[in-house]
Amino acid sequence: MKLLIIAIIALLASVAIALFAKDDPGYIMVNYGSWTMEASLVLVLSVGIVGYIVLYYATKLLGGTLKSPLRMVAWRGKRKENKARMANAQGMIELAEGNWSKAELLLSQNAQAGEMPVLNFLGAARAAQKLGAKERRDHYLKMARQLAPRDSIAVSLTQAELLIANGQLSEAAESLKLLRQFSPKNETILKLLAKLYTQMGEWNKLIDLLPALRKNHILTDFDLERLEQMAHAELLKCVSHDISLLNSAWHRTPRRIRKKESVLLEYSHALVGHGEGHQSEELIYQVLNNQWNDELCYLYGIIKGNNLGRQYKNAEKLLRKQRTNPVLLLTLGRLALRNGDLQNAHSYLEASMHADPQPETCKELAALMEKIGEQEKAIEYYRAGLTMSVALPTQAQQLSLPTTSNEVIESRSGILLAAQPQQA
């Protein structure tokens, strides 16, 4: 169509030239040696225009013919690229749908032909992990690292995530520690390390990581506070068997964290086990005076402080806010007994019994009756406590020292987990 239009334009131009020069067509003579050519100007111009057009398209046709093999190669390459792109897209869909075998096949076979081979190899590695093929997973990760050295952080992070998911925690920890040296402020690296140390029970390492989490604003204040409390509480539990390690871990605990209930409970519980409960007596009172906790109050009655009179008076001050609390009344009964105030000890223990009958309260009352020589009443209290323990095993449980359970801590950042087997 284009050629036809050009031909028509050339024809019209020739006609226009002929009409313009009909009265005087001009004359051209070319003489070269013995050779002479004569023609009108109009004819020469017309032939020149037509010849130029023919020569132009002939050259273009010849060039296209010569370039056709190259165009064929380019077309095949483009077709192969489009095919690989479609295969990779389908591979990602299969990966998202959980079709691991198809996803691995599509992503691995077409990885290097795609636009972003690193992502394809990483996807293939995830699929291989789901299939339990560790060797193929590591091979894909190695290929991804070789293809894009500049993206080594992304590859290493994926590798660490896969190792964690596969339970290879020590290897993941080493990988992340090396990676952190190259990118110390990377949010994903720090989050993964926090999650990993929590799973492994590496509380010392988690505590060492806390300043970086705080400085780089990796977690919300809420999550960071919960994580810090858990780390110090679990560390205290880990070293509770050794009084020197316990005190060392306590001195390492920030002052604001020492007043947290879970942390103070672990420390005080361990101290009582070593017969050193007096070390936390004053701090327990300060915490109870500001925020009530039944478990801490119970421990306060077990602890033998350095000044029994002061300890007793401090406990009585707590009655202002907790006048009918059965745990506080039991604690006061014990402290009154320890201070020789038998009359008030009886009153406090009876009040605790009235508020919440417990076998342990009966035991304390029985011991008090024995001390003042009331054997029959002592027997009655022993019998009452035994009856409660046997008849109501679910409602009348003996009060015991608190222990920290493996509680799942809600986290907005997704890294706080249930406490795992502890390590120092």
Q: How confident is the model at residue 197 (pLDDT cuts 50, 70, 90)?
A: very high
pLDDT attached to residue 349: 93
pLDDT attached to residue 249: 94
Angle (CA) 313-315-319 rounded to 5° is 110
Contact 108, 135 (CB under 8 A): no
pLDDT attached to residue 119: 78
Average pLDDT, integer, range 107-132: 77
Rounded Cα distance between 349 and 124, Å, is: 69
Which of 354, 357, 335 is closest to 345 using CA atoms? 335
Average pLDDT, integer, range 23-48: 68
**Maximum alpha-carbon separation in the chain:** 161
Token pair of 54 as six digits:
């023919």
Counts of helices then strands in the chain (DSSP H, E):
20, 2
pLDDT attached to residue 298: 93
pLDDT attached to residue 107: 78
Q: How confident is the model at residue 19 (pLDDT cuts 50, 70, 90)?
A: low
Would you say how long the chain is, in residues? 424
Which of 359, 350, 366 is closest to 386 using CA atoms? 359
Please give the mean pLDDT across all residues of the chain: 80
Query: The whole model's pTM is what?
Result: 0.66
Contact 160, 129 (CB under 8 A): no
Token pair of 286 as six digits:
């300060």
Contact 40, 26 (CB under 8 A): yes
Average pLDDT, integer, range 353-371: 91
The larger pLDDT score, comparing residue 198 to residue 415, is at: 198
Rounded Cα distance between 204 and 411, Å, is: 20
Rounded Cα distance between 77 and 85, Å, is: 12
Q: How confident is the model at residue 174 (pLDDT cuts 50, 70, 90)?
A: confident
Rounded Cα distance between 209 and 193, Å, is: 8
Average pLDDT, integer, range 192-202: 91
Average pLDDT, integer, range 230-237: 94
Q: How confident is the model at residue 81 (pLDDT cuts 50, 70, 90)?
A: low
pLDDT attached to residue 158: 83
- Strand-pair category, 28-32 with 35-39: antiparallel
> Which of 126-135, 297-306, 386-395, 408-417 comes out lowest in average pLDDT?
408-417
